[in-house]
Amino acid sequence: MFKTVLLFTLCFSFSLAKHEHYDGYVVYKITVSDKQQAERVYALENELLFDVWSYAAPSIPGLVLVPGPMRERFQTEVGNIGAQYELQVDNVKEVVELEEKLLTTAASRSKKRPGRLSFDKIHRYAEVNSFLDDLAEKYDTVTVVSAGKSFEGRDIRYLKISTTNFQDTNKPVIMLQSLLHAREWVTLPVTLYAIEKLVIDITDRDLVDNIDWIILPIANPDGYEFSHEHIRFWRKTRSTGHTITNLCVGVDLNRNFDYNFGRWSSDIACSEAYHGKGPFSEPESQAVRNIVLEHLNRMELYFDVHSYGSIILYGFGDGILPPNGLTLNLVGVKMAQAIDAVKWPSKPNYLVGNLGLTFSNVSGTAMDYVQGIGVPLSYIHEMPAHNNENNSLTGTLVDPNYIEQAGYETWEGINVGARWVLQNARRNKH
């Protein structure tokens, strides 16, 4: 009897345990009226080690995840700053459970697409890996490469797509990347959709013939798997050794690159914006760096997909524009317009801007590093936030109905960026 009860209790707590972490957590929407307020709110969120889902900027409200017991203190201090707060989600556990239910239901009705991955679910690391292997076996244009191992030993795998096996040094290289931040699940269909268009459908023959593509779908595999298995909003890597007790795990990869390293990130291991022990301390950021360095003389466009905010950002995170700032803005606007033309009417139009000027100053991003070492066009692409019909899903949570659309609409933007590269690549100017 005791055994039965114990077993029942264990099973019951196991099924509940997954999202129990978020019981009582709330999400606040923060509205600021000027940049100074934005900076003070961000400093407060950092000091309290909160998980900032999106920065509040004068024209863009931000979202922040707050543990229940911290609510009153946070409200008082935000009030003292003069910013506005509004409760967006009153129990985060419930919305995470809702997302899981919606995704599970959608997946149970999923139709097989022979030779392809479906766009009604968020595929796991192993599924993506076998898809990449299948493509490499079937298509001459495709090679699968490992850029090294993650902290936990997973291969960081990317696809090279080329009609000339990367041997034609006159071709520009474009790199697409998703899931540098583990929880940003909806970025995965963006790179998978691009792969499908470039390898299987070949809807744009000129883009396949004249460009060498590098596509890295899961840049942070350890964090990604952890976000599926344990903590939904896990953002960082899973590396240890940052504190004596290993109480706080992981590094924010998008603060770990060597550009202004450490200036506007956190040196506290428990922070969501912890930058790590030094630039490129993480094998995952080393992997991205090594890919870019290998193709630096030919890489024209680097496109790092994140979630969320409906915004295309370019360097630098300190608010200083690169010498080609106007071009970065121009191409960013062209990509944004192409997405806006096919986006769901319920989603806002894309904004385009400099990272540091649009939000607070940020340091150590992959985008800044890649721009800084000489790739002409380097972007952070923030996908739209997800709000399902009754508005209960928000932030990085995924509405299964949006998965295919996420891939489709973003591809329209990537397509325009690639065409701009074809017409204006550095080689054409010599």
Closest distance between Zn ion and the C-beta of residue 3, in Å?
A: 46
Between 157 and 181, name the residue whose CB sits nearer to Zn ion.
181
Closer by beta carbon to Zn ion, 154 or else 306: 306
Phi/psi for 158 (5° steps) reads -135, 165
User: What residue ranges bind Zn ion (CB under 5 A)?
Assistant: 181, 306
SS (H, E, C) the chain: CHHHHHHHHHHHHHHHHHHHCCCCCEEEEEECCCHHHHHHHHHHHHHCCCEEEECCECCECEEEEECHHHHHHHHHHHHHHCCEEEEEECCHHHHHHHHHHHHHHHHHCCCCCCCCCCCCCCCCHHHHHHHHHHHHHHCCCEEEEEEEECCCCCEEEEEEECCCCCCCCCCCEEEEEECCCCCCHHHHHHHHHHHHHHHHHCCCHHHHHHCEEEEECCCCHHHHHHHHHCCCCCCCCCCCCCCCCCCCCCCCHHHCCCCCCCCCCECCCCCCCECCCCCCCCHHHHHHHHHHHHCCCCEEEEEEEEECCCEEEECCCCCCCCCCHHHHHHHHHHHHHHHHCCCCCCCCCCEEEEHHHHCCCCCCCHHHHHHHCCCCEEEEEEECCCCCCCCCCCCCCCCHHHHHHHHHHHHHHHHHHHHHHHHHCHHHHC
Q: How far is the CB of 382 from Zn ion (least distance, A)?
A: 7
Non-local (6+) Cβ contacts of 82 within 8 A are 33, 37
As measured in angstroms, the least distance from the Cβ of 301 to Zn ion is 19
CB of residue 333 to Zn ion, shortest distance in Å: 22
Interatomic CA distance for residues 270 and 199, integer angstroms:
41
Question: Which of 22, 13, 95, 28 has its CA nearest to residue 62?
Answer: 28
Q: To the nearest whole angstrom, how small is the minimum distance from the Cβ of residue 142 to Zn ion? A: 27
Q: Minimum CB separation from Zn ion for residue 226, in Å?
A: 15
Q: How far is the CB of 181 from Zn ion (least distance, A)?
A: 3
Count CB-CB contacts under 10 A for residue 233.
21
Nearer to Zn ion, 181 or 238 (CB): 181
- Of 181 and 343, nearer to Zn ion (C-beta) is 181
Q: Which residues contact 16 (CB under 8 A, 6 or more apart)?
A: none
For residues 208 and 251, which CB has a smaller minimum distance to Zn ion in the complex? 251
Q: Which of 179, 190, 117, 122 minimizes the C-alpha distance to 154?
A: 179
Nearer to Zn ion, 180 or 208 (CB): 180
Nearer to Zn ion, 223 or 376 (CB): 223
Question: Are 55 and 42 a contacting pair, CB within 8 Å?
Answer: yes
Least distance in angstroms from the C-beta of 235 to Zn ion: 7
The residue (of 93 and 306) whose beta carbon lies closer to Zn ion is 306
Out of 127, 382, 389, 412, which one is annotated catalytic? 382
Is 20 annotated in the active site?
Answer: no
Catalytic residue list: 382
